[in-house]
Amino acid sequence: MEWKPYTDQARNWFETLRDRICAEFEAIEREAGSDASFEFTPWDRDTDDGTEGGGGVRGVMKGKVFEKVGVNVSTVSGEFAPQFAGTINGASVEQPGFTATGISLVAHMANPHVPAVHMNTRFLTTQSAWFGGGADLNPPIEYDEDTEAFHARFRAACAAHNPTYYDRFKKWADDYFFIPHRNVARGVGGIFYDHLECADDAQFQRNFAFTRDVGEAFLDSFPHIVRKRMGQEFSEEEKRQQLEWRGRYVEFNLVYDRGTLFGLKTGGNIDAILMSLPPEVTWS
């Protein structure tokens, strides 16, 4: 099956979602009296043989509310290195070719009462084709009502497609976003899914619709939480708590995160791959 038209459909959606998210985040900055805006930097993927490898656009904003937020969209293609190919669904040393398109977002907030957040959705093709992604909330100071509101929106998105999705994908997020060497969760979870296979057009359309709804759920839920918390006063102790909590976030992303590893192993843009790291962090 020729997957390029499907890759193009997914890429167009990810770019549209990027534009809507960035506009919403800039609107929040305006509400806080800031003129901060995203700076967008295009990049091309280097390949060993000089062939076209695709690329992407890295968007970063540093403002009054969003201490640092990165929203990246990329579409890349090529061949996996032999030692990495066998770890990817549908790839092998004999058939290492791939294409990947996706959006990745991480926001670190100035106010410790506002949770950090991660969201990523993607479409990959090897000898197989599939969607993956999800979103998870990472508050330094947890509010049960925010956690419930975030989960409720993703629960509804999942229920519209499959009654088993939310329980399955919530558990997957709980298991995945965990720091074994600390024996703690990275945050309060969300959903995480992978390998929603697309063997034909019908499966692509079904899983693409779900992936779009994951993006819509993020856009519906997270800005509401930001607006609710961004004006709260905070103490030096609460800021210290946030900076120390960020250290756990860094540890997870550098030691365990599959997306970080995928980007590094496929010749991605280093600044885009590591945009998930916070601008300021401490370890006790």
Averages of pLDDT over runs of 10 residues in the chain (284 residues) are 91 98 98 98 78 89 98 89 67 72 97 98 93 98 98 98 98 97 96 96 98 98 98 98 96 90 78 88 90
In angstroms, rounded to a whole number, what is the distance separating the alpha carbons of residues 210 and 206? 7
Which residue in the block uniquely carries the two structure tokens 């390029």? 4
The encoded tokens of residue 37 equal 């805006």
Return the pLDDT at 247.
Answer: 95
pLDDT of residue 32: 98
Separation CA 132–CA 100 (nearest Å) = 11
Residue 119: partners with Cβ closer than 8 Å, 6 or more residues away: 103, 104, 105, 133, 134, 135, 214, 215, 218, 222
Q: Give the residue numbers annotated as catalytic, written as ranges.
A: 118
* Whole-angstrom distance, CA of residue 94 vs CA of residue 82: 9
Structure tokens at 206: 């079904």
Which of 166-174's residues contact partners 24+ apart within 8 Å by CB, and which partners?
Answer: 166/191, 168/193, 169/134, 169/193, 172/134, 173/134, 173/136
Alpha carbon distances (Å) from 191 to 105, 115, 121, 174, 209: 15, 16, 11, 8, 16
Domains of the chain: 4-276 (3.40.1500.10)
Structure-block tokens of residue 57: 């656009």
